[in-house]
Amino acid sequence: MSSRHVRRNREHWERESPAYQERNREQLNRFDRLGWGVWDIPEDELDVLGDVAGLDVLEYGCGACQSGIRVAMRGARVVGLDVSATQLRAGLVAMEAAGVRVSVVQADGERIPFRDESFDLVFCDHGAMSFADPRVCVPEVARVLRPGGLFAFAMLTPWAWVASGEGDAVGWEFRMPYFGLHAIDIDDPSWRTTEFQLTYGDWIRLFRANGFVVEDLLELRPRPGAVSTYVGPEELPWALDYPYDHIWKVRKVGADAPPAR
Ligand SMILES: C[S@@+](CC[C@H](N)C(=O)[O-])C[C@H]1O[C@@H](n2cnc3c(N)ncnc32)[C@H](O)[C@@H]1O
């Protein structure tokens, strides 16, 4: 039996997937480059993933798998996992457009249906790590990663949550407490989800408790004049001053590396 937030989020994505895919089509379905986050900052500038050729990769909360398709184009063996059948069906259209096939599986990211140590890389771009409980996901990802494997994920920042409250545009005042950040219910008629965030200290303790070392926290800053299909131009001045989204880059301790203390 899945939990309330997983059911709520699955229902949201089954309902909203067609509108989401249409609204963000221009940004999502550009297969000529791999970008990250709401500002679509190129992987070739950020170098989050490095050389992925020959790696076993899980896209974790892949949606229509557009990122996974681009990673497959760079030579990786990619599997996309998502809880929503409608999102995965949109992936078939994206694969057709890109001329690349990747395997997909419908599953809850809190119960990854793969054996221990199946992947070299687990990644997502505002995927399962935004919509499933990190206290369950981080141990699950640690389980399916091989020693030395990379876990990289983009999500909103605690800054953005505190400055937006429950789903509004970011503003210049604090609208939500920082201490205690965890599950956040959004009840907008067209956006009814439960999303997750932790404080910076809670993230670091969670990674270390599950055998990860933090390699980087990339705070994504758009260029002046940047446009995004995800946020309106009125939010750009804020995003030039504060990180709207960021990428955690953490590595599972290798067999010969000392465990985190
Ligand atoms: C904002 S979309 C991101 C997908 C893709 N990276 C993109 O940019 O469109 C979030 C995805 O997370 C998926 N998701 C939500 N909860 C999940 C869960 N518990 N397990 C797996 N996927 C989940 C949703 O179905 C949705 O496709």
| In-domain check, residue 260 | no
| In-domain check, residue 205 | yes
Query: Is 194 a pocket residue for ligand 1 (Cβ < 6 Å)?
Result: no
Task: Read off the pTM.
Answer: 0.96
Q: How confident is the model at residue 256 (pLDDT cuts 50, 70, 90)?
A: low
Query: Is 61 a pocket residue for ligand 1 (Cβ < 6 Å)?
Result: yes
100's tokens? 């690349």
pLDDT for 254 equals 87
pLDDT for 260 equals 47
| In-domain check, residue 229 | no
| In-domain check, residue 218 | yes
Q: Which of 131-135, 176-180, 253-257 has the least mean pLDDT?
A: 253-257
32's tokens? 């000529």
Phi, psi of 65 (to 5 degrees): 65, 20
Radius of gyration of the chain (CA): 17
Tens digits of residue pLDDT in 200-245: 999 999 999 999 999 999 999 999 999 999 999 999 999 999 999 9
pLDDT for 23 equals 97
Q: 131 is in which domain, residue-wise? A: 4-155+194-224+245-252
What CATH number is attached to the domain comprising 110? Answer: 3.40.50.150
Query: Is 193 a pocket residue for ligand 1 (Cβ < 6 Å)?
Result: no
Nearest ligand 1 atom to the CA of 59 is 6
Tens digits of residue pLDDT in 134-145: 999 999 999 999
> Cβ contacts of residue 196 below 8 Å, gap of 6+?
129, 130, 131, 132, 133, 134, 182, 183, 184
